[in-house]
Structure 1
């Protein structure tokens, strides 16, 4: 395989980094905001160029110096799209998805890989996704979205992630999404050696009880307290597997613990559930105190999933396999027809005109609700005319690098709590 290079933004503690390295990519640069994660990256890869700072601050790094790379990758912040949050999308100061697309336009890598939470795949963000896809097309990239589950790539955890892959048109015909191979492990079989290492007499019975994959690990953020394994529903799922999800333990239970003891996981166990180890290829050391380690692990893109997607991208860039027509290779995104009608309208249009142009049957309450949703991510002018109120799409609210964007002030104000 040809040598391939990558720049990784919002690199976290190295889940995607390790997976891409195993797929054949050499890091030219990794940029991360969280100091603990930066320390972890530097500890594991001392020869990498790892920058600490806001990835959108050119004082931290200069994109113009990295215009000859093969892959731009990153796990841009999840809270703007998380189902557990307010889903502010483009108006969240942490949203860097659209900015990363513009960054690709400036750097012109051969491929782009961006991953985020399942929430970005929901109807709430259909127009946002369409905006991203249309912009990538304008920049000369074919792109596709896919919801991937970690347990389909050897990780004993559900963990759905919504992944965007974009390649320049000349490389795109060789891209294939990685084939799913269901995980053979359960929580019990994956963690038995770690759970039994201090002589707990209940370890074998626990292994039989923990006979399913894990619910999604929730890393949390600096806005919340100490480490635990997720919201109420997740805690109940963990309890059914014989795990106390109210926090993380310092050590595995020892010989003094009763057979029917309900243990907590250690950070090493959470690390295993996220896809690090026991295979030596996935060895990784985390820095910081227990809660800091847990957050780094819990917020990561599982390395085996990153490796699978990275390998598919590397195969396309190296022209392996048989090329396909792009129309056959692409899994079309569900278009938001009302957004497209607004975008393509030659002038301000009334509700009746927009509904006709969209080609959908939309009753007035539904129209108002969908317009309100669109207005969360896009600037829409409204004007009362003789034929009724008219609407015109003016622009996108998201941060794409503007020097005067309000994101800068909000980010500066919230920086100590952003992670």
Structure 2
């Protein structure tokens, strides 16, 4: 007998990569919120398909999917009432990546698009049993160690145990690198049963193996297809979706294009169709959106998805998505914890690491007074932590003050002393700069 399905509210749902993975892991959507109309159309269409497959009539499925998928700013209180979903099994989402991406300025909490802290604060309002948020690898860097530490503290204060983990898509059968930094948090009652999903024992197929049938589907000569398959002998670089400010669909920046060329792919655009009989073996083929979708993990009977819209918007929907097989693996791990299936051996509190000793001292030192860089270095050494020279302490403070207000005072000897103030991130404040930014740039925000 199949276990009873769990319920999820998903924010920043996109075209449904995470949605499909969670569905396959045993979750049913109560609500899915997405800013982009094109992505929301794709998500609504496919959720209706899933409902029909489960026995719902087409008319009822369309109506139910329309009630589940809402289009707009997830932080707009007029769009939805978080309290209506209090106690839901899972709150999940892929909040905007630009605040943390190494391809941008890594503005973090001061980037008006940052919704990470806001999503964590939602836990206080709706008290989901579990939280799942994913983002780019950049969030895992030293630049954001204090930011991550603060997130764990917010969760702890709200009654959750949070853990960060960097996952690679290819570890779960997806034919690309695609590192994603994932936060999972559960109420303490369930955290004692959470285990991160184990990587698949089977290697992900190469790009050539994965796309052989699609590359030859339009009449390209078999010998050319075979030669291409041999050249495309590894997994793909990370698929890049881009933003609304981006021109057309292509496969990423210069370094990514070079990696694609090594695989025998012209990355300067996305094709309308696979190569036909007129193409010789000397020219590099371009990928179609169907090929890109496979590389992103939409492959096989359990991952069928029908994208809506024109080529460029479909490519962006695919490129910005969370690979469904990775979402499924995480969903199954969370579902297992919520059902209390296998208790972990270690203490759940041991999963709250000290990510940034400088931040911790500034936030929690019992003296409650400004601390110089030298004093911070001495306190860290005294506590048995890794010795940090004063220049390193100052560098870390420079990172911290990008996300937090830091008060500086000058001591009599000329040394600067530091005192940690408020977190700068948007958590729903009515007077936050995000509201003005969003009102002025809504058509370009992605």
TM-score range, shorter chain: over 0.9
In 2, Cα distance between the equivalents of 1:348 and 1:261?
A: 64
Report the CA distance between 1:204 and its aligned residue.
1.4
- Number of residue pairs the alignment of both structures matches: 417
User: Given that residues 92 and 131 in structure 2 are in contact (C-alpha distance below 8 angstroms), is that contact kept between their aligned partners in structure 1?
Assistant: yes
RMSD of aligned alpha carbons: 1.4
In 2, Cα distance between the equivalents of 1:101 and 1:75?
A: 12
The residue aligned with 1:383 is 409
User: Given that residues 172 and 326 in structure 1 are in contact (C-alpha distance below 8 angstroms), is that contact kept between their aligned partners in structure 2?
Assistant: no
Moved more, 384-393 or 1-10: 384-393
Mark the CA change 1:157 to 1:28 in structure 2 (over 3 Å): closer, same or farther: same
Report the CA distance between 1:332 and its aligned residue.
5.1
Matches within 5 A, 1:4-403: 4-46=6-48, 47-48=64-65, 49-181=68-200, 182-201=202-221, 202-277=224-299, 279-327=300-348, 331=351, 333=353, 335-345=355-365, 346-359=368-381, 361-387=387-413, 388-403=415-430
Task: Decide which of 397, 413, 416 is 2:443's aligned counterpart.
Answer: 416
Task: State TM-score, norm by structure 1.
Answer: 0.97
Residue 369 of structure 1 aligns to a residue in which SS? helix
What are the Cα deviations for residues 68-127 of structure 1, in whole angstroms up to 9, with x where unaligned? 310000000000000111100000011000010000111100000000000000110000
Report the CA distance between 1:391 and its aligned residue.
1.3
The residue aligned with 1:2 is 4
In 2, Cα distance between the equivalents of 1:103 and 1:357?
A: 35
User: Given that residues 204 and 235 in structure 2 are in contact (C-alpha distance below 8 angstroms), is that contact kept between their aligned partners in structure 1?
Assistant: no
Report the CA distance between 1:408 and its aligned residue.
1.1
Residue 131 of structure 1 aligns to a residue in which SS? helix
Moved more, 405-414 or 100-109: 405-414
Report the CA distance between 1:349 and its aligned residue.
2.1
In 1, Cα distance between the equivalents of 2:336 and 2:387?
A: 43
1:404 aligns to 2:431 (yes or no): yes
User: Given that residues 2 and 318 in structure 1 are in contact (C-alpha distance below 8 angstroms), is that contact kept between their aligned partners in structure 2?
Assistant: no
Residue 235 of structure 2 aligns to a residue in which SS? coil
In 1, Cα distance between the equivalents of 2:426 and 2:270?
A: 36
Residue 145 of structure 1 aligns to a residue in which SS? strand
User: Given that residues 126 and 334 in structure 1 are in contact (C-alpha distance below 8 angstroms), is that contact kept between their aligned partners in structure 2?
Assistant: no
Report the CA distance between 1:225 and its aligned residue.
1.1
User: Given that residues 152 and 352 in structure 2 are in contact (C-alpha distance below 8 angstroms), is that contact kept between their aligned partners in structure 1?
Assistant: no
What residue ranges of structure 1 are gaps of 5+ in the alignment? none
In 2, Cα distance between the equivalents of 1:249 and 1:213?
A: 20
Report the CA distance between 1:161 and its aligned residue.
0.2
Residue 417 of structure 2 aligns to a residue in which SS? strand
In 2, Cα distance between the equivalents of 1:352 and 1:321?
A: 46
Moved more, 300-309 or 255-264: 255-264
What residue ranges of structure 2 are gaps of 5+ in the alignment? 49-63
User: Given that residues 90 and 131 in structure 2 are in contact (C-alpha distance below 8 angstroms), is that contact kept between their aligned partners in structure 1?
Assistant: yes
